[in-house]
Structures are given as structure tokens and as C-alpha cells.
Structure 1
Amino acid sequence: MSVVFPQADASCSVCALHGDDAELAAHEVWRSDLWLLRHHPLPAPLLGWCLLDSRRHCAGPIDFGADEAREWGGVVQRASQLVRRVTGCDRVYAIAFGEGARHLHLHLIPRCEDDPRTAAWSVADLYRDVEAGKVCAAHADCVTDWLRRARALAPSLLD
């Protein structure tokens, strides 16, 4: 049975995902009382493309409570360090729009200098091309292996 986090919005796709035990088992990396880090669901545009969600339904930093505001910077930093360490990328982009779902889900996107698909806004084209089936997504077995390694490191980096 799925449990929806308190204060969930019944019409919110991110809140619904947080209540979906099967989806979380497949993609969750780490969680605290306030935050949930998960790999992008399949088809994932890139190996290591993660999302950092607020557990509480809120649109973004403008709506943070005091604890969320206090923890935000450190959690983003440590989650980005985890993505870089497991992926081996050069940088990690952090992007949030909040239009597809008005629930904070910060995209943490691996940027590899030798992969032009990950350069600046090219990553948005890659996202759309994978979504449209024009480009191959990250292989599911590779995502599973990435998740295993990330979950093993998460407690030391995020707790």
C-alpha cells in the first residue's frame, strides 16, 4: 500500500510519485524528512540525471519553511557531489522550472566536457530527443548499476 507524504496535493504528479512505492523502489537514491533524491525515471536522458524533490508539496524556495530554507544549500551541494562522484562528470547542472509539475524537483544533470550533448542548453535538446524516441536513453542496466553505487555512497555524503 502506498502512503502519500503529509500535505500532499492530490493533483500533483510529484506528490503522486512520492506515494508510489514501486516507482520509489526503482529510482530513489536517498531521502530525509524534507528531501528525496531520485534518478530520472526511465527513459532517462543521461546516466546519473537525478531529481532532488521537496518531500512537502511546495513550488520552490519562495515557499520554503524555515527548516527547508536552512537545509537547502547543503543538500543541493551534497547531492551534486554524489552525482559527480558516481557519474565521474566534470560538473553538475542544477535546473528547476516548476512548470511541468508545480512541486519543487531540481534537476541535477551530469555535464561531461567530452559529451557535447550535455553542453549548456544542448541538454534540453537531448531531453526532448530522448522523450521523442529520436535518441537512445541511458541503458536500464546501467541506471540500475548507477543506483546501486549511489545508494551505497549516499549515507556518507548526504546524512
Structure 2
Amino acid sequence: MEESCQICRKAKEEIGKSSYYLFETEHFRVRHSDETKIAGYLIIEAKRHFLDLSMAKPEETAEFGEVLAKTTKAVRQATKPMRVYTFSLAEAVPHFHMHVIPRQEDMPKRYVGRGIMSYPLNPPLDCQSRESVSLSITRAFKSL
């Protein structure tokens, strides 16, 4: 764990709180984003602190493909999007994490494709909506 890392600190705070992480494997955790209004916007976070996949251990890279596929399927099953976007930057938070974003049909055109990078972070999705979609996604994970 890296003390100055936001992801490492949050993971330590959430140990034992079953509702924060929707899915977990040996090397990764999946949570709903609490930084945006998009229902079903998930973040896959590495449990071990590293910056990008070039720094991942072989067992982490082997598992990551399965985690990404399962996460994408769960989002698709639960939210019925037109597309599911995935990307990793690790600029604002230098800890490996992957964004998994459902793009619904009614999303304004300025946010489609690369425009998703300029989607407003505020206001965040309200707690009740986030909990509802998180429950649907958790059920989808369990069915896969």
C-alpha cells in the first residue's frame, strides 16, 4: 500500500464494508464511481499499487482480462447500453485502474466517443440511484 495513494487509502478504509466493492478477485476490486452522474460507471482497481500494466505481475495481467470481460458483461447486462467504453489514464490518481463506462442512447452527442473524457464530474449520481444500479450490477456479476 502506498500511503499517499487515494485508491490505496480508500481500499484500506473500506475493508469489511461489503457494499462499496461490487466484485472482487485475488488481484482486483470493482466499484461504482462516486465521482460522476453516469449510472453504471464502474472502476476496476488493482489491489496492489502499480501504475500501469507494464508494471503488473504475470498473474495480475492474466487475471485482468477476465475481470475486464466480466465487468463489461455485467455493465451491459444491468444497464443495457449502446456501447461500453473502457480506458485507463492514471494521471490524476497514479494507481492502475480502468474506467468502464456504459454509453446510453440518450447521451448528448458531445460526450459520445472521445467526448466522454469531458463529461462533467459534478453533480455525482445520487446515492439511491447508485445503490440501485450497483445492486443490479452485483446481481449480473453473480449470474456470470
Shared fold per TM-score greater than 0.5: yes
Q: Are residues 1:64 and 2:48 paired?
A: no
Which whole-Å deviations, capped at 9, do the CAs of 1:71-127 have from their partners, x for residues lacking one?
Answer: 12121111011111111112111111011111111010111233225411222222x
Q: How many residues align?
A: 143
Give yes or no for contact 2:82–2:105 (8 Å, CA) kept in 1.
yes
- Could you tell me how far apart the structure 1 residues matched to 2:128 and 2:107 are? 21
**In structure 2, what residue type is equivalent to 1:50?**
L
- Alignment RMSD: 2.0
Segments of structure 1 that go 5 or more residues without pairing to the other structure are: 1-7
- Could you tell me how far apart the structure 2 residues matched to 1:21 and 1:152 are? 21
Aligned to 1:139: 126
> Residues 143, 154 of structure 1: CA spacing in aligned structure 2 closer, same or farther, 3 A cutoff?
same
> Residues 114, 80 of structure 1: CA spacing in aligned structure 2 closer, same or farther, 3 A cutoff?
same
Query: How many angstroms does 1:64 deviate by?
Result: 1.0
> Secondary structure in 2 aligned to 1:153?
helix
Aligned to 2:74: 82
Give yes or no for contact 1:58–1:103 (8 Å, CA) kept in 2.
yes
> Residues 47, 22 of structure 1: CA spacing in aligned structure 2 closer, same or farther, 3 A cutoff?
farther
* Structure of greater relative contact order (alpha carbons < 8 Å, 6+ residues apart): 2
> Secondary structure in 2 aligned to 1:130?
coil
Q: Are residues 1:151 and 2:143 paired?
A: no
- Could you tell me how far apart the structure 1 residues matched to 2:3 and 2:121 are? 28
- TM-score, normalising length: structure 1: 0.81
Give yes or no for contact 2:77–2:140 (8 Å, CA) kept in 1.
no
- TM-score, normalising length: structure 2: 0.88
- Could you tell me how far apart the structure 1 residues matched to 2:28 and 2:104 are? 26
Paired residues for 1:102-141 under 5 Å: 102-116=94-108, 118-126=111-119, 129-131=120-122, 136-141=123-128
Could you tell which deviates more after superposition, 50-59 or 108-117? Answer: 108-117
